[in-house]
Amino acid sequence: MKKLYLSCILLIPLFMSSQTDIDGIMMSKNNFCVGTVYQYSSWDKYWEGTFKRENLNLGTVSTKSIGLMGNYGLSDKLNILFSLPYVETNASAGTMKGQKGIQDLTLTVKYVPFEKKIGHTTYSLYALGSFSVPVTDYAADYLPLSLGLKSKTASLRLMGDVQSGNFFSTLSAAYIKRANITIDRNSYYTNNEVHYTNEVAMPDAISVNFRFGYRSNRLIAEAIIDSWTTQAGGFDITKNNMPFPSNTMNALKLGLNTKYTLKRIPELAVVGGYNFVTEGRNIGKSTAIYGGLFYVINFKKTEHDEKCTTKTCK
Amino acid sequence: MKNVLQKLVNKSLFVLLFAFSYSCSNDITERNENFTKLNPSNTDEAAGKWKTYLLTTPDEFSLDVPIATNTAAYTREINEIKSFQANITSEQKRIINYWAAGGVLRWNEIMRTLVARHNRPPYQNEDGTYPAPSSANPFDNPQFPFSNPPYAARAYAYVSAAQYDALVAAWHYKKLYNRAAPFTVDNNLQVLVPKSSLPSYPSEDAVLAGVTIELLKLLFPTEIAYIDGKAEEQKLYRIISGANVRSDVDAGIILGRKIAGKFINRAAGDGAGAAIGTPEYWSQLQTQTAATGEIPWKSQESPIRPPMLPLFGKVKSFLMSANDVIANRPVPPPSTKSEQFAKELAEIKRYSQNNSKKNMQIVTFWADGVGTYTPPGHWNAIAAESFAEQNYSEVRWARNMALLNIAMMDAAISCWDAKYTYFNPRPSQIDPSIKTTTGLPNFPSYVSGHSTFSGAACTVLSHIIPAKAKDYQAMATEASNSRMLGAIHYRSDCEKGLELGKAVGAFAVARAITDGAE
């Protein structure tokens, strides 16, 4: 039974504090994993276009967030996930007031269409479809202290995972489609023109994520490389200007994640991690640290001991 | 069973993707794409006699007699139109649709774009000082200009006033030479825009292009290629649409350029070039305020930035004398030691702590800060959308825009005069726990620029379109309040600013009554 608990979601703090789960792990049928993660990220340098600079009128910009997350196994091959963060922003210098509030709800369907074991190696393929929607009326046009970009998004991610013994690697890529947003001004300047509308066209993005490391029933330790690239329709912050929601925002992140499932209470797992931006465009060079707890509730205990089909249940 | 589930999931993923592509494919229509083609109900035939700003007489600059419409040379010009029309491209159609909404309107929009593009404070040097933009070396870092609100107000005013004088001259020559429009001469000629009953020599659009490009070259020297491109479009639009022949356009450009010279000369000597002041003057402002026992304003930026255009209050106005500016100067702000001041500070602290969604929206809507067309630009946008409903002739468009923008330039002058006379600190300077929800401008508090601009604009617009007076008043009050809600101004700044703006606007209204257009 304890073999199941490992499959509780491992969180990857993604770009702009939205978090989703893109690991090669599934919850077994009728298991519900719920947890909360606290994250602190901050930066004191940012890229204005490609120019890396500081801004003494912002000092250190920090984002604290606490997220509620869950993952339910509809079947061993089909999981439903959600996450909902509460976010607080702050600038250590200058006069600008930070913001706080609940950000975007993300719902994800995760499906394993293919899984094959050859020798000691398991190959599997995943498809993840996600929707995110802002749940409060926060202002997107308040960068860099806004809670988020407020765009409804939809994304499709394809992911391949290889596990050999206790070592694994996972590669995935997603296309993120973003809906237009409305802002509280009825005109704005971007891409060299004034636009006479309160609607802003948001550029789409492509996210690529690679992770590798150790994965056993008790412990996961992995390194990640994550790249986020804004597609056509995004523009640079011009010299000494304010950022704008439809700016191109690119980031290359490196990080470490760990997860430990308690021996005594195998329903409970502790997660923690660290990541930082190494290269970026129109974003802060942020460093983030997070930690959280997850708990697994099994709604149909009897079925489980046999019905473990994913590779984590070896 | 497994297969069914698999199929179901595959299908739902497909539907999911399809749903997003659909929900996200919403194209945006911008308000300025919806303006209809200009088709004035009244051509203001007598506008050649309206009162000008700088021209001594409408024919101060001469314009050659046009060639007659029964000559072979004129026929060749008609043929040029026909040859364009025979091979018209979709890009040319786009140009026609864009410019046909009106030349004054489109140049005003282009100006707003230029202001927004250049409205960025210089980035600091390594040593913590700031470089200043230089009109002599406009491409240096930082580029010239930094089109902050006073710079923008003056720029909008010069262009609008020059366009107005140039169109009065154009109307004068139209009447004098009375040359028929090409479509009147040749009945077979297609016209792609509403036909005007006015004589077509010189082309009013070309006069506008001629006068505007020369002024914009002065005001935005790094943008000459962009400006020339727009002017070429406007000229082409008149010819391809069949509204003017080439000689109408050429004559208009020449006349416009000559008239621009007068405004350029005035601009060189109006004091704006020296408005930045000197380090000695900046420190003198501080010591002289401290000597009165008041707390002098201090830049809250890091590194400390010099105050914005401290001598702009000395710029020469079109309608107010230096004595008028002093006579209208607001009474001193509440002393920083007074009970009144403490009360006003506490009010702003409350706004800073408790900013409701509604308040945030008001603050953001009227912020018009860095990277925008500034508060005067916002009022130009409001005016343009109002005027577009009124079916004005080009010359009346120009006249109304000139009244509005001259009033806002006077608002900038009078407001900056007050700011640097009193050199009053911002709320966050006195109480650093006051956090703001909009950028804190780098100049003294009393009186509020937004309030002064808005008071002036609402006074002029209410005179021009009395039916909308209530709306303009409500907008001005909201724009003024937004600065308190954003925690960057005290109540006195806003209330006295609005009053000052209204007093300044009255100068433009007094002129409107007597300029011959009403």
User: What confidence tier does B3 reach under pLDDT thresholds 50, 70, 90?
Assistant: low
Give the relative orientation of helices B469-485 and B357-367 as an angle to the nearest 10 degrees.
Answer: 110
- pLDDT, average across residues B481-494: 98
ipTM: 0.94
Contact B450, B367 (CB under 8 A): no
Distance (Å, rounded) from C-alpha B348 to C-alpha B342?
Answer: 10
B116, B364, B439 member nearest A194 (Cβ): B116
Contact B244, B100 (CB under 8 A): no
Confidence at residue A26, expressed as pLDDT on a 0 to 100 scale: 87
Contact A211, B394 (CB under 8 A): no
With tokens 């393929």, the residue in question is A125
User: What confidence tier does B95 reach under pLDDT thresholds 50, 70, 90?
Assistant: very high
Which structural domains are found in chain B, ordered by start? Answer: 52-66+76-268 (1.10.606.20), 312-331+338-514 (1.10.606.20)
Q: Which of A16, A13, A20, A17 is nearest to A155 (CA)?
A: A20
Taking residue A214's Cβ as centre, other Cβ atoms within 10 Å add up to: 13
Q: Is A180 in Cβ contact with B370 (below 8 Å)?
A: no
Distance (Å, rounded) from C-alpha B13 to C-alpha A109?
Answer: 9
Does A239 contact B at CB distance below 8 Å? Answer: yes
Integer CA distances (angstroms), B104 to B88, B145, B248, B380, in order? 25, 23, 18, 11
Taking residue A227's Cβ as centre, other Cβ atoms within 10 Å add up to: 16
Confidence at residue A314, expressed as pLDDT on a 0 to 100 scale: 31
List Cβ neighbours of B471 (8 Å cut-off, separation of 6 or more): none
Which structural domains are found in chain A, ordered by start? Answer: 2-304 (2.40.160.40)
Distance (Å, rounded) from C-alpha A37 to C-alpha A71?
Answer: 14
Looking at the predicted structure, is the pLDDT value of residue B85 above 60?
yes
Distance (Å, rounded) from C-alpha B207 to C-alpha B39?
Answer: 18
List Cβ neighbours of B27 (8 Å cut-off, separation of 6 or more): none
Confidence at residue A36, expressed as pLDDT on a 0 to 100 scale: 94
Q: Which residues does chain A have within 8 Å of residue B369's beta carbon, measured at their own beta carbons?
A: 242
Q: Which of A48, A53, A255 is nearest to A143 (CA)?
A: A48
Contact A81, A20 (CB under 8 A): yes
User: What confidence tier does B27 reach under pLDDT thresholds 50, 70, 90?
Assistant: confident
Confidence at residue A4, expressed as pLDDT on a 0 to 100 scale: 38
Looking at the predicted structure, is the pLDDT value of residue B129 above 50?
yes
Taking residue B385's Cβ as centre, other Cβ atoms within 10 Å add up to: 16
pLDDT in tens, B450-475: 999 999 999 999 999 999 999 999 99
DSSP secondary structure string, A118-154? ETTEEEEEEEEEEEEEE-S---SSSTTSSS-----EE
What tokens were used for A155? 């994304």
Residues 131-150, chain B: which have Cβ within 8 Å of A? 142
Identity of residue A22: I
DSSP A284: B
Contact B17, A154 (CB under 8 A): yes
pLDDT in tens, B211-251: 999 999 999 999 999 999 999 999 999 999 999 999 999 99
Q: Which helix (H) or strand (E) holds A250?
A: strand A250-261
Does A263 contact B at CB distance below 8 Å? Answer: no
Distance (Å, rounded) from C-alpha B132 to C-alpha B286?
Answer: 21
Distance (Å, rounded) from C-alpha A294 to C-alpha A263?
Answer: 14
Distance (Å, rounded) from C-alpha A100 to C-alpha A92?
Answer: 15
B17, B120, B369 member nearest A156 (Cβ): B17
- As to burial, measured by CB atoms within 10 angstroms (0-12 exposed, 13-18 middle, 19+ buried), residue A8 is buried
* Phi, psi angles (nearest 5°) of residue B287: -65, -40
What tokens were used for B380? 């130009």
DSSP B48: G
User: What confidence tier does B10 reach under pLDDT thresholds 50, 70, 90?
Assistant: low
Confidence at residue B19, expressed as pLDDT on a 0 to 100 scale: 58
What tokens were used for B331? 């009474």
Query: What average pLDDT does chain B have?
Result: 95
* Phi, psi angles (nearest 5°) of residue A309: -110, -15
Confidence at residue A302, expressed as pLDDT on a 0 to 100 scale: 52
What tokens were used for B136? 């002599």
Distance (Å, rounded) from C-alpha B207 to C-alpha B86?
Answer: 27
B21, B29, B428 member nearest A95 (Cβ): B428
Distance from CA of B13 to the nearest CA of A (A): 6
List Cβ neighbours of A81 (8 Å cut-off, separation of 6 or more): A9, A20, A21, A69, A70, A71, A72, A106, A107, A108, A109, A110
Residues 9-48, chain B: which have Cβ within 8 Å of A? 9-10, 12-13, 16-17, 19-21, 23-24, 26, 28-32
Distance (Å, rounded) from C-alpha B172 to C-alpha B278?
Answer: 45
Distance (Å, rounded) from C-alpha B377 to C-alpha B401?
Answer: 11
Confidence at residue A9, expressed as pLDDT on a 0 to 100 scale: 39
Distance of CA B495 to the CA centre of its chain: 24
List Cβ neighbours of B85 (8 Å cut-off, separation of 6 or more): B190, B192, B240, B242
pLDDT in tens, B293-338: 999 999 999 999 999 999 999 999 999 999 999 999 999 999 999 9
pLDDT in tens, B391-413: 999 999 999 999 999 999 999 99
Q: Is A199 in Cβ contact with B24 (below 8 Å)?
A: no
Percent of chain A that is helix, strand, coil (3-state, to 5): 5, 60, 35
Confidence at residue B354, expressed as pLDDT on a 0 to 100 scale: 85
B20, B301, B357 member nearest A154 (Cβ): B20
Q: Is B370 in Cβ contact with A241 (below 8 Å)?
A: yes
Q: Is A154 in Cβ contact with B23 (below 8 Å)?
A: yes
- As to burial, measured by CB atoms within 10 angstroms (0-12 exposed, 13-18 middle, 19+ buried), residue A58 is buried
List Cβ neighbours of B401 (8 Å cut-off, separation of 6 or more): B104, B108, B160, B163, B164, B380, B383, B387
> Could you say which residues of chain A have pLDDT below 70?
1-22, 301-314
